[in-house]
Amino acid sequence: MAILEFKDVSYTHNEKNILENISIEIDLGDFISIVGHSGSGKSTFLKLCSDLITPTDGYIKYKDKYFSDYDPIELRKNIAYCFQTPYLFGDTVMDNISFAYSIRGKKIDLDRVNKLFSMFNLNEDYLEKEVLNLSGGEKQRIALIRSLLFNPEVLLLDEVTSALDVDNTLVVESVINSLNEKGTTILWVTHNIEQSRKYANKVLTIDTGKIKSLEVIA
């Protein structure tokens, strides 16, 4: 079953065609690596997938229903986007985690939070750390944790290991792979060719705003 479907999607900004005629079906449980030159439209594609921007032409469906027929909050709950440049707000790491719960009217689940922190090689002390003092790699992992708190069905990752050392890159790859094995659909933009083929079942290549190929990995 297609969990996401793009049909003839184009996205134009300031009269510039950023994406043109994108048609693709993403199946439930897919792990798709997205590659392509810088500026080819990969991040724009993920922003469309997460309803952060709206197609200029064509349509996108989630589970056979048009994006436009969903409550945007419901879509955002199911489709989580982890940005290329992690943005953390407030003063402490805790501010970022607790906000995710409070906007949903929920009490923080510290067991779940601690479990996620340890999965990503971060100890509990990080919760009290100041955002300003974190390294790029720490921010990336905390932004990733924040997007995983509520078990999204589709996880969109935009070059999320770019600031990580080798060991932590392996940790993140392995956590994402195990989420995929438990059923989360993954779309992962990476410029690392080795990473793109490690766990993915498909590799999508975007070239100057168009789909160049969708390769199925045996």
Ligand X SMILES: Nc1ncnc2c1ncn2[C@@H]1O[C@H](COP(=O)(O)OP(=O)(O)O)[C@@H](O)[C@H]1O
CB of 164 to Mg ion, least distance (A): 17
Q: Does 195 bind ligand X (CB under 6 A)?
A: no
Pick the piece of the chain touching Mg ion (CB under 5 A) from 42-50, 98-106, 108-116, 149-157: 42-50
Lookup: tokens for 127:
């919760």
Check if the beta carbon of residue 64 is closer than 8 Å to that of residue 43.
no
121 in Cβ contact with 141 (< 8 Å): yes
Q: How far apart are CA 138 and CA 134, in angstroms?
A: 6
Using CB under 5 A as the binding rule, whether residue 96 contacts Mg ion is answered as no
**148 touches 155 (CB < 8 A):** yes
- Pick the closer one to Mg ion by CB: 87 or 107: 87
For residues 197 and 203, is the Cβ–Cβ distance under 8 A?
A: yes
Give me 48's structure tokens. 């469309």
* Residue 90 binds which entry of ligand X, Mg ion, none, CB below 5-8 Å type-dependent: none
> Token pair of 114, please?
């601690």
- For the bound state, the minimum distance from the C-beta of residue 141 to Mg ion, rounded and expressed in Å, comes to 19
Give the residue, chosen from 18, 32, 127, 175, that forms a contact with ligand X under the rule CB under 6 A: 18
Contact partner at residue 180 from Mg ion, ligand X, none, CB < 5 to 8 Å by partner kind: none
Contact 205, 35 (CB under 8 A): yes
Task: Find residue 17's DSSP bridge partners.
Answer: 12
**Counting contacts by CB under 5 A, is residue 190 touching Mg ion?**
no
Asked if 188 contacts 33 with a C-beta cutoff of 8 angstroms, the reply is: yes
Residues 29-48 that bind ligand X (CB under 6 A): 36, 38-44
**Residue of the chain from 43, 180, 185, 205 that contacts Mg ion (CB under 5 A):** 43
Residue 164: both structure tokens together: 């990580």
Question: What's the min distance (Å) between Cβ of 44 and ligand X?
Answer: 3
For residue 118, the minimal CB distance to ligand X (Å) is 31
The contact set with Mg ion (CB under 5 A) reads 42-43
Question: Which residues here bind ligand X, judged by CB under 6 A?
Answer: 13-14, 18, 36, 38-44
